[in-house]
A and B are shown apart, each in its own frame.
Chain A
Amino acid sequence: MTSKISLRGVTKSFGPKKVLQGIDLDVAKGESMVVIGGSGTGKSVLLKCVLGLMRPDAGSIKIDDEETVALADGGRADVMRKFGMLFQGGALFDSLRVWENVAFGPIQSDGMKPAQAREVAIAKLGAVGLGPEIGELYPAELSGGMQKRVALARAIAREPEIIFFDEPTTGLDPIMADVINDLIVKCVSDLGATAVSITHDMASARKIGHRIAMLYDGKLIWQGRTADIDHSGDAHVDQFINGRAEGPIRMQVRRL
């Protein structure tokens, strides 16, 4: 099976700090890959490199066998068309109403008429369990869990082939976190999309991931099926998934 996303030897440094030191990762079409790792291990940097928000120092990132690292504006926008992204804090545009947020991609980038885009937005809000009346509110008027749902609706509004989730459950209570996990599983399977998530929430990782990879010290030290993570045979992975303070992993203090 060919890979939807394929990374080879991706490195990225900030000054003397080597954040990514040669990442090799393949994600098959329709697969849900979860990258776990402690805070400050470079999970977000990895995601931003794949998205093209950051440029890696070296290595290759292929989407559908197309090399994307060196793409300029026009080609980059075409690749972006395939992506949806759920940001950690939601990153909703606070000057726009909820439905305008969800309809932003269809209107601004795909040239859809506002009236039609509004119906798409309301349908997508329905898909994440929000009624049409929510569409008239501004993001600041919503609770954290609601904002996450709206952000999810925006991420799937253009029916992307690949969806990225940046710590989708961080900052939510356990019940709302599980609701979001269920929605992610449902949306990904409804769209038949390929998903890449980064998280340090193991409950979330087990629920949404077909496969899990662990990032530590700039490298992917383990990857395998979700079912296999409990007997990975790797001391770092065991320490992380069981949340033990004692073990081979020392906590990163400074943020990257």
Chain B
Amino acid sequence: MSIPLVTLLGRMTLAFLEAIGSVTSFALQSVRCALQPPWYRQQILRQMLEIGYYSLPIVGLTAIFTGMVLALQSYTGFARFSAESAIPNVVVVSLTRELGPVLAALMVAGRVGAAMAAEIGTMRVTEQIDALTTLSTNPYKYLVVPRLIAGVVTMPILVLIADIIGVLGGYLVGVYKLDFNDQAYLRNTLDFLQFQDVFSGLVKAAVFGFLITLMGCYHGYTSKGGAQGVGTATTNAVVSASALILTFNYFITEAFFAR
């Protein structure tokens, strides 16, 4: 009874370590390729448009309702202690430090990570990636690097926009539903906001952008076995990116704010 359990545990541990090793070597290879020419500028621009611009509606929607619900929830709590004036501050700090980057990244992981894994996975199973190699084009440089660069560059911009839209959501609920003075709300928002609150959120965004695109590319690149393999790759890309986002979020927060 106990022997099969130990075997299973050992097998799972080995598989886990093997996956970590494989992802790490994929990431190192990609970064090495990213540092050497040629760079495919057109591909980078296309991916930036795909990741940044086309994600704006969904990220904006997420941000505005998050800001609104934050204001509403903290009001119902803080009113008990007559601490309503802290609400603008709670909204802006929660958004810039945590909810802006994390929720935007989770939405982008679902939208972009999945699409990347499916596209690259299909290219893998239809031999298009091998075809790139035979045309003297390094698939890491042509497929992976542009996505990684686009992810790292556009996610912070996306999160900055999400922060602003989220604060706007909080402002709308605060002023029009909870009867805050509009001047006072804005003043309370900006007075307590520190550079580090926003900056840590943008660093998170860049890291999450890397993780999302890395997972999308890795799972697509290593997929095999036809349509089913591509389906599995897509699921794995989203699940692993989401898990990594939440994990890295904790450690980046600790690096910035733990004393």
**Contact of B138 with A by CB under 8 A:** yes
Mask of B129-162 contacts with A, CB within 8 angstroms, 1/0: 0110111111000100000000000000000000
Q: A55 to B126, alpha carbons, bound, how many Å?
A: 20
The distance in angstroms between the C-alpha atoms of A53 and B134, with both chains bound, is 8
Q: Is the CB of A80 within 8 A of B142?
A: no
- Across-interface contacts of B40 in A (CB, < 8 A): 108
B36-82 residues with Cβ-Cβ distance < 8 A to A are 40
B128: Cβ under 8 A from any A Cβ: yes
Interface residues in A229-255 (C-beta closer than 8 Å to B): none
Residue among B123, B127, B128, B137 with the highest chain A CB neighbour number at 10 A: B127
Of A88, A93, A109, the residue contacting B136 (CB under 8 A) is: A109
Which residues does chain A contribute within 8 Å of B126, judged by CB atoms? 89, 91
- Chain B residues with Cβ under 8 A from A27's Cβ? none
Tell whether, in the assembled complex, residue A51 and residue B134 are in contact, meaning their CB atoms are under 8 Å apart: yes
Residues of B within 8 A of A109 (CB): 135-137
Counting chain A CB atoms within 10 Å of each CB, the highest count among B123, B128, B134 belongs to: B134
B127 touches A87 (CB 8 A): yes
- Smallest Cβ-Cβ distance to A105: which chain B residue: B135
Tell me the smallest distance from the CB of B33 to a CB of chain A, in Å: 9
- Is A165's CB within 8 Å of the partner chain B? no
Contacts of A108 in B (CB 8 A): 40, 135-137, 142
Is A83 positioned at the interface, with any CB of B under 8 Å from its CB? yes
Q: Which residue of B lies closest to A54 (CB)?
A: B130
Q: Are A53 and B136 in contact (CB under 8 A)?
A: no
Closest residue to A82 on the B side, CB-wise? B136
A71 at the interface (CB under 8 A from B): no
Q: How large is the interface on B (under 10, 10 to 19, 20 to 34, 35 or more residues)?
A: 10 to 19
Least Cβ–Cβ distance between A23 and chain B, in angstroms: 20
Q: Mark A66-92, 1 if CB is under 8 A from B, else 0.
A: 000000010001001101110111011
Q: Which of A31-66 contact B (CB under 8 A)?
A: 48, 51-53
CB of A83 within 8 A of CB of B134, answer: yes
- The answer to whether B137 touches A91 (Cβ under 8 A) is no
How long is the Cα–Cα vector from A48 to B133 in the complex, in angstroms? 11
Chain A residues near B135 (CB, 8 Å)?
Answer: 80, 104-105, 108-109, 154, 158
Flag if A80 contacts B136 (CB, 8 Å): yes
Q: Are B138 and A53 in contact (CB under 8 A)?
A: no
CA distance A141 to B186 in the complex (A): 56
A51 to B40, CA, bound (A): 24
By a CB distance below 8 angstroms, the chain B residues around A48 are 130
Enumerate chain B residues within 8 angstroms of A89, measured Cβ to Cβ: 126-127
A91 to B136, Cβ gap below 8 A? Answer: no
Which of B130, B133, B136, B142 is within 8 Å of A81, CB to CB? B136
Please, how many angstroms separate the alpha-carbon atoms of A52 and B136 in the complex? 11
Contact present for A91 and B138 (CB under 8 Å): no
Judging by beta carbons under 8 Å apart, are A91 and B133 in contact? Answer: no
Contact across chains for B138 and A77 when beta carbons are under 8 A apart: yes
In angstroms, Cα B129 to Cα A92, docked, is 10
Q: List 9 A-B contacts (CB under 8 A).
A: A53-B134, A80-B133, A80-B136, A85-B131, A89-B127, A108-B40, A108-B135, A109-B135, A109-B137
Q: Which residues of A contact B (CB under 8 A)?
A: 48, 51-53, 73, 77, 80-81, 83-85, 87-89, 91-94, 104-105, 108-109, 154, 158
Q: A81-B136, A85-B130, A108-B135 known; 9 other A-B pairs, CB under 8 Å?
A: A77-B138, A80-B136, A83-B134, A84-B134, A89-B126, A92-B128, A93-B123, A104-B137, A108-B40
7 residue pairs, one from A and one from B, having the closest CB atoms: A109-B136, A91-B127, A91-B131, A85-B134, A105-B135, A80-B136, A87-B127
